[in-house]
Amino acid sequence: MSNDSGFPETTSFEVNVSKDTFKFNAAHFVAYNGFRERLHGHNYKLSIRLLGSRKICSDGYVLDFGDVKAVTKTACKKLNEHFICPMYSDVITITDEANGENVKLLCQDGAEFSFPKGDCIMLPIVHSTVEEIAIYCWGEIILGLDAEVLVKRGVHTMEVTCSEATGQEAVFRMKIPNTNNHAEIMKAVDVRSFIRTGELFPKPCLPVANEKGAGCSICSHCGK
């Protein structure tokens, strides 16, 4: 089936950009009500997908790969070799220490951490998961590429994939707004608007053998 332009309805262009330079090393821990990971780190990687229209621009591009590479590498450099601090966490109290040079984190379970400010990247996220990091990166990259320019070029959607290890990745995809106003972009990618409200259902116990060779370790979910 064709539309009035003569192109089949399924016809469209897209570009995918994934480079070895789209990477950053960072420390983090995920924490939510009743749970906290140990402090650890990952070698994160990003990849970008831009969905366009049925026609490319007069320069032959959906968008120049070089533009995507430059902006994405800048976003990665900003995160590289930092502790990812989730500013909107509801289970971590974040304050400046008296010396003015360190950031203190007091967790719900009583654990305390102190990091030099220069070693922290304060992100507008609730949890330092790859899902929320992908949302943050989407906003940074769309601002760098200029959303209005993308829309004029027929690019309507951008997808950011964030991986923390081989085979472990999250994808965030959203329609590109026709504005490059910083405040409006930040509102569009406010992580809190993408999080379900209400309590989590308890996770079922995993079949991990205990010292006796069967069952799970003692936990509050099943009481075993």
Distance CA 186, CA 192 (A): 11
What length is written for the chain?
A: 224
14-194: CATH class? alpha beta
Domain definitions of the chain by residue range: 14-194
Q: What is the pLDDT of residue 213?
A: 44
Q: Residue ranges of the chain with pLDDT lower than 50? A: 1-2, 210-224
Are β-strands 23-28 and 82-86 bridged in parallel, bridged antiparallel, or unpaired?
parallel
DSSP 83: E
> For tokens 């016809």, what's the residue?
11
| Contact predicate 90/126, CB 8 Å | yes
Confidence (pLDDT) at 223: 42
Contact between 37 and 29 (Cβ < 8 Å): yes
Q: For residue 3, what pLDDT is reported?
A: 55
Compute the distance between CA of residue 132 and CA of residue 172 in angstroms, rounded to an integer. 9
Give the pLDDT score at 198. 77
Number of helical (H) and strand (E) elements in the chain, helices listed first:
4, 12
- Confidence at residue 126, expressed as pLDDT on a 0 to 100 scale: 97
Looking at residue 115, its pLDDT comes to 97
Q: How far apart are CA 160 and CA 140, in angstroms?
A: 11
The encoded tokens of residue 222 equal 């099943």
Q: Single out the residue of 75, 83, 78, 108 nearest to residue 93, CA to CA.
A: 108
Amino acid letter for position 67: D
> pLDDT (tens digit, 9 = 90+) per residue, 80-123?
999 999 999 999 999 999 888 999 999 999 999 999 999 999 99
